[in-house]
Chain A
Amino acid sequence: MLLPKFDYHEPLSVDEACQIMSDLGEKAKPLAGGTDLIVNMKKKILSPEHLVALSRIEDLRKIELLNGSVRIGACVTAAELAESQEIKRGLGALGQGAGILGSPLIRNLATVAGNLVSARPAADLPPPLMAYGAEVVLKSRRGERTLPLETFFQGPGQTLLEIDEILTEIIIQRPPESAGAGYIKLGTRKALEISLVNVAAYVALDSSGTTIEAARVVLGAVAPTPLRSPSAEKLLIGEKVDPSLFEKAGQAAAKDSRPIDDFRGSAQYRRDMVAVLTRRALNMALEQARRA
C-alpha cells in the first residue's frame, strides 16, 4: 500500500500551524505521531492534500506543572507519558494506559492528542484521562477554547474538533492525596492489543479514609465513545468502602454499557467483562488512594 501524494508543512509554532490550518481548511490534517493517520492514508480511508506536522513545535512536547494542574502537550508520546515522573506521581492510571498502548514501536510515535482526536472507541488514553476529569484545549486562528474531554467525543472517529482547530494540550487538575485511579484493558493477547473492553476508575476518599467522596468510572470499547457510568458513580459516592460495593458498582456499570457484537467479541461478553473490570479497576483505585 502506497501513500497518496500530499504537501507537507512543518510549522515551528502553534500560531503558524493555526494559520496554515485556517488557510487550507478541509484539505489539511494535522500530523502528530501518524500511527493512525498515515495508516488510514495508506488504506485510502483518508486522503488529505496537506499534512501539517506538529512535531517541530517545542511547546507541544512538554509536560508542565502549573498551579496544581498538569498540562500535557499534544505531541507528548505514549512512551514519554508512560515514563514521566510527573505522570507517575498522582496520575498513575494514565501512565498505565500509555504503557500498554500498542507496542514499544507504536508508543515511541503515538501521541496523546492523536489518541484523542482519532476518537477510537477502544483507545487506551481516553478512559484514564476522563477518570481524572481532563480537559482539552483547542486552538485556531479564531481563538482558543477549553472543553471537558468527556464532551469532546461524538462517535467513532468524530469529535468536537473543528476543521481549522488543533488540540494543543490536555489539562488535568492534580487529584488530592486521598485519591487513586486504576486502568485495565482486556484483550486476547498480552501486548499489541486492541481492547475488547477497557475500564478506568477514580475514587477519592474522605479524611477518615473510609467513605468515597468522589468517583468516576469510564468504560471503553462498549459504546460509540468512551462512556462514563453514572449509575456506578452514583452508587459509589457517599458510601463506605466495602467489597460488595464494588461488585454492585460493576453490575451497574455493565448496565450502563452499550456494547455491540462484532468480529472481535460479542456484546454479552463485553457487558459481563465491564462488571469484572470495573470492580478490579475500583480496587486498584482504592489501593492507590489508601497508599497515599
Chain B
Amino acid sequence: MTQYTVINKRAPRLDAPDKSTGRAKYVDDMTLPGMLFGALLQSPLAHARILNIDVSKAKRLPGVKAVVTAEDAGLIKYGVSPARYDETLFCHEKVRYVGDEIAAVAAVDLETALEAISLIKVDYEELPAVFTPEEAMAQGAPVIHEEYPGNVCAEVHQEFGDVEAAFQDCDLIRTDRFVNKRQDAAFLEPNGCIADYDRFGNLTLYTSTQVPHYVQRTVAMVLKLPVGRVRVIKPYVGGGFGPKAAANPMELAACLLSKKIGRPVKMNYSREQVFLFSRARHQFVHTLTTGVKKDGTIMALKNECYLEGGAYASFGIATVYYAGSLLAAPYRLANMKYDGYRVYTNKPACGAQRGHGGVAARAAWEQQLDAIAEELGMDPIEFRLKNVMSAGDITCNDLNMSSFGMKDCIEAVKKGSGWSEKKGKMPKGKGIGMACGFFVSGAGYPIYRSDTYHATVTVKLSEDGGTATVYTGAAEIGQGSDTTMALIAAEALGVRYEDVRVASGDTEYGIDLGAYSSRTTLMTGHATKEAAESVKRQVLQVLGDRLKVPVDQMDIKNGYIVFKGETPDFSSIRTAYIKEHRGWTDNPDEEPLTFREAARLAYLEKGTIVGTGKYKPGKLGGKYKGAAVGTSPAYGCSAQVAEVSVDMETGKVSVERVTDAHDCGFAINRTSVEGQMEGSVSMGLGEALLEEVKFDEKGNILNANLAEYKIPTCLDMPNVKSLIVESNEPNGPFGAKEVGEGAIMPTIPAILNAVYDAIGVRINELPLTPERVYMAIRRKKGKQ
C-alpha cells in the first residue's frame, strides 16, 4: 500500500483556532459601509387569496428606504429542480402556508424595518387549507397550485424485476406501515445574508449557504442579471444539513432591495423563520411488503410512500425518487417495486435533510427486516450477512457498488459491540439492535441538466515558493471540507499540511456544486488532487530541466525534493535562493533540496505557477425515468449497533452505547470521519427519540424554537465507538468516498430494533417519545 505522509492521519481542523476563539466571521458578524437592514412580511394564514396589499404607510415611515412586493420582483418562477419551478419571490394572488413571503422592507435599522413591516396592510380572503396528504388528495380538496389539480407535486412508479412473481416463490411475506415526522435541521446558525449591488451593476451576496453556485444561478435568473454579474461568497457557516442547499426568498429579497436602493442590505432569519422556511426532512408514510425464502434470502420488496411536502416543491422531486431508489442496496434484491407520491399541503415546504429521502425508508425497512429475521428464527446479523452485497455488485436499479465494505462494517460492529455476548441475554428493559445503510457519494448529475463540471479547482503557488493556496468554490459549512482539501492538496503536491492555505466558498474561485449529497470529498477532492498534481509536475519540470534529471526520477515529499537515483548537485539553486534571502534566518542549510527552493526556481523561470483541476462523473446509472436520482460514482455504507435502556414504567428511552462502522473508502482525515459519524448518530438519535415539528389546526407551528423542538443535548448522547472501514474506492481521490450522510442511515432503525429487544413490542411511528413507548408497552400488557 502507498505510504502517505499527510492524509489518513489525524489533522487538526483549519478552522478550529478561529472557531474556538470566536474570531471566525459568520455573515451576521459582517458590516458593510452604508448597510441597511431588511425584514420580511410573511403570511399569517395557511391558505388565502390576496385581495390587496397596501404599502403606503410603510413607505412613509421615516428611515424606510424601500418596500418591495411581487409588483417589483416580477413573477419569474424558481425553485430547486427546473422541472418544478413553482415559487415566485413574493406571493401574488395567494399565499400557501403560514410564513409565505409577501413583501420585504429595507430601512436604516432593524427596528424601523420591522415597524414598517407591521404597517403593511394586506387584505386576505381565507381559503380552506389542507395539512395532510389524505386531506390534500381527497376528492374536491382545495387546490394549492393550479398546475397540480390533485395536489400531487410528483409521483414515481418504478418496477425492477417482477415483484408479484417473486412473491409467489416466497415462504414469508410481511407488510408494515411506518411513519416518521417532519423535521427541522436545527443548525446552529440561522440563515442570514448581505446583498451588495454596486454602481457597476455587480451584485455580491454574502450568505449562509451550502451551495454558492446554485444560489448564484437562482439570483441571476430571478433578478434577470447575467450570471457573471453575480458573485456569491459564503463566510463561515454554522451548519446546513440540507435546508441551506438552495436559494431562499430572503437572499433574493435582499438582492432585490440592494439592487433597487444601491446600498448593502443585511437580512437574517429569526429561529422561528428558520422553522417557517423549513426545507428540512419530509414526513414519509411508507408501506413496505417484503418477501423472503425460508433460508433468509430476500426476494422482493414493494414500497409505497406518501410524502407530506408542504406548499412548494423545493427538493421534493429528488426526495420522492430517493425514498424508493435508496432501498436497492445494501442487500441483493432482484425485484423491487416503488410507488411514491409527493403531495402539496398548506405547510412550510419540506426539502432535503441529511440522508436525503432515504432515512425514513431505511428505518422502516431495517425494522421490518429485523422482524422477518425473528420470524425466521435467524440472528439479525446472520440474516443481513446472508443477503449483503459486495464490491462489484450492481443493484436492480443500476447503482454500481464499485467498492462496498458492507460485510466488513457488519463484522466490525458485531465484534466491537460484543453482540454475541449480549443479544438475547439482556434483562427486560435493556435491548440491543443493529441496522445497516448506504448512501450516495455525490449526486451523479447536477440539479439542472448540464454537462458542467461538478468542481473546478485552482492551486496557486505563492511566488516565494513557500505556500500553496487552493482556490475552490466548495462550501465549508462546518463539515471540514477546507481541511480535507488542504490535506489532499498537501499530499498530492508533496508539501506539509501547514504550508497549504484554502480559499473557498466563493463563486469567483471556480465551479463547485456545493455541500450536498455527500459530494465534496470525492468530487472537489478529485479536482483538488488534479490541480495539485499539475503544480507538482510544473515545478518538477523546471527543476528537471535545470538539474538534467528526468521528471519521473524525482518526487516531492513532506516539503523536500526526493531524487530516486543519485542526488544531483543542486548547489547553484541553493546559492541563488540564499542570495535572494540575505538576512533571513531560516534559509535551507544542510538539508536536502526543499520544495520552496524548487518552487521559487519554477516561478523565476515561468512566472506564477498555477495548476487547475476539474471533475465530473462519467456516464452513470440506468436509462429508466428517474435513473439520475440515486446514481453516484461511489457509495458509502455503514452498520451500527445501538444499546438502549427503557424505563418500563415511564417509557423513557436512553441510548447507552452505539457502535458504528462506516466504509468511507479511505479516510483523508480520520478525526473528521469520526466527527461525521458521531454527528450522524446525534442527528439520528434526535430523529428517533425526540424531534417533530408540530402544528395547530390552522397551520401554525407550535414549537418553532429550540426549547420545544427538542434536539439531543450532550447528556442524551451515548458514547459512540466509531470504527472506520476502508475499501479503497476506485472512483475516489486516494480511494475516498462519503461519510457525511450515509452514517445517519442505520441510527434510527438500530435504536428501533434495540427498543423492540428491550420492550418486546414494535413501534412503527417516530419519534419514540416516552409517551409513545409507554403506550406501546401498555397496549402489549393489555393484550396479554
**In the complex, are the beta carbons of B770 and A263 less than 8 A apart?**
no
Within 8 Å by CB of A272, from B652, B710, B769, B774, lies B774
Asked whether any CB of chain A lies closer than 8 Å to the CB of B155, the reply is no
B716 at interface by CB-CB < 8 Å: yes
A273 and B690 in contact, given A196-B770, A265-B771 (Cβ under 8 angstroms) = no
Contacts of A264 in B (CB 8 A): 708
Find out whether the CB atom of B710 lies under 8 angstroms from the CB atom of A263. no
Residues in A193-209 with C-beta less than 8 Å from chain B = 193-194, 196
A269 close to chain B: CB less than 8 A: yes
Let me know if A266 and B771 touch, CB within 8 A.
Answer: yes
Taking CB as reference atom, which chain A residue is nearest B696? A263
Q: How many residue pairs between the two chains, A and B, have CB atoms under 8 Å in the bound complex?
A: 53
Let me know if B702 and A191 touch, CB within 8 A.
no
Q: Does B420 contact A (CB under 8 A)?
A: no
| Interface set, chain A 261-292, CB cutoff 8 A to B | 263-266, 269, 272-273, 276-277
Is the pair A189, B114 in contact by a Cβ cutoff of 8 Å?
Answer: no
B715 touches A (CB below 8 Å): yes
Contact A269 B114 (CB under 8 A): no
Do residues A269 and B270 form an inter-chain contact, with CB atoms below 8 A?
A: no
**Residue among A1, A188, A265 with the most chain B CB within 10 A?**
A188
In the complex, how many angstroms separate the beta carbon of B745 from the nearest chain A beta carbon?
Answer: 23
**B652 engages A186 (CB within 8 Å):** yes
A15 to B700, CA, bound (A): 45
A65 within 8 A of B: no
Let me know if B650 and A189 touch, CB within 8 A: no
Q: Which of B417-472 contact A (CB under 8 A)?
A: none
Q: Which residues of B contact A196 (CB under 8 A)?
A: 770-771
A189 to B272, CA, bound (A): 21
A12 lies within 8 A of chain B by Cβ: no
Closest to A184 in B: B650
Verify if A2 is at the interface (C-beta below 8 Å from B). yes
- B650 lies within 8 A of A1 (CB): no
Assembly CA distance A269 to B779 (angstroms) = 13
Contact flags B681-713 to A (C-beta < 8 A → 1, else 0): 000000001100010000000110001101011
Instruction: Select from chain B the residue with minimum beta-carbon distance to A273.
Output: B650
* A265 partner residues in chain B, CB cutoff 8 A: 769, 771
Q: Which residue on A lies nearest to B686, using beta carbons?
A: A189
CB contacts under 8 Å to B, within A177-193, are 186, 188-193
| CB–CB A1/B708 < 8 A | no
User: What's the Cα separation between A273 and B650 when bound, in Å?
Assistant: 7
Q: Is B72 an interface residue (CB 8 A)?
A: no
B690 to chain A, nearest CB (A): 6
Q: Say yes or no: B713 contacts A192, CB within 8 Å.
A: yes
Q: Tell me whether A189 and B713 are in contact in the complex, defined as CB-CB below 8 angstroms, given that A194-B707, A276-B649, A276-B650 are known contacts.
A: yes
B110 on the interface (CB 8 Å rule)? yes
Set A2, A190, A193, A277: member contacting B114, Cβ < 8 A: A2
The CA of A230 and the CA of B160, in the complex, are separated in Å by 66
Interface residue total, chain A, C-beta cutoff 8 A: 21
Knowing A196-B770, A272-B774, the reply to whether A189 touches B649 (Cβ < 8 A) is no
In the complex, what residues of A have CB within 8 A of residue B703's CB? 263
Q: Does B111 contact A (CB under 8 A)?
A: yes
CA distance A262 to B775 in the complex (A): 16
Task: Provide the bound-state CA to CA distance between A190 and B716, in Å.
Answer: 6
- Give min CB distance, A244 to chain B, whole Å: 16
Residue pair A186, B774 in contact (C-beta under 8 Å):
no
Q: In the complex, A273→B654 CA distance in Å? A: 17
Min CB distance B560 to A, Å, is 50
Tell me whether A269 and B708 are in contact (CB under 8 A).
Answer: no
> What residues on A are CB-neighbors of B707 within 8 Å?
192, 194
**With A192-B707, A263-B694 as contacts: A186 and B770 at CB distance below 8 Å:** yes
Residues of B within 8 A of A2 (CB): 110-111, 114
B702, A189: Cβ atoms closer than 8 Å = no
Q: Is the CB of B774 within 8 A of A189?
A: no
In the bound assembly, the distance between CA atoms of A2 and B107 in angstroms comes to 15
Assembly CA distance A265 to B114 (angstroms):
35
Contacts of A193 in B (CB 8 A): 710
Residue of A nearest to B711 (CB): A189
Q: Contact at A188–B710, with CB atoms within 8 Å? A: yes
Hey, which chain B residues are within 8 Å of A103, CB to CB?
713
- Which of A1, A190, A276 contacts B713, CB < 8 Å? A190
A276 contact set on B, CB distance < 8 A:
649-650
- Residue numbers in B under 8 Å from A190 (CB-CB): 654, 713, 715-716
B110 surroundings in chain A (CB, below 8 A): 2
Chain A residues with CB below 8 A from B771, complex form:
196, 265-266, 269
Q: 9 pairs across A/B with beta carbons < 8 Å?
A: A1-B270, A189-B689, A189-B690, A189-B710, A190-B716, A265-B769, A265-B771, A269-B774, A276-B650
Residues of chain A at the chain B interface (Cβ within 8 Å):
1-2, 103, 186, 188-194, 196, 263-266, 269, 272-273, 276-277
Other A-B pairs, 10, CB within 8 Å; known A191-B715, A276-B650:
A1-B270, A1-B272, A186-B770, A189-B689, A189-B712, A189-B713, A190-B716, A191-B713, A194-B707, A272-B774
| For the complex of A and B, 8 pairs with smallest distance between CB atoms | A190-B715, A269-B771, A191-B713, A276-B649, A191-B715, A263-B702, A263-B694, A190-B716
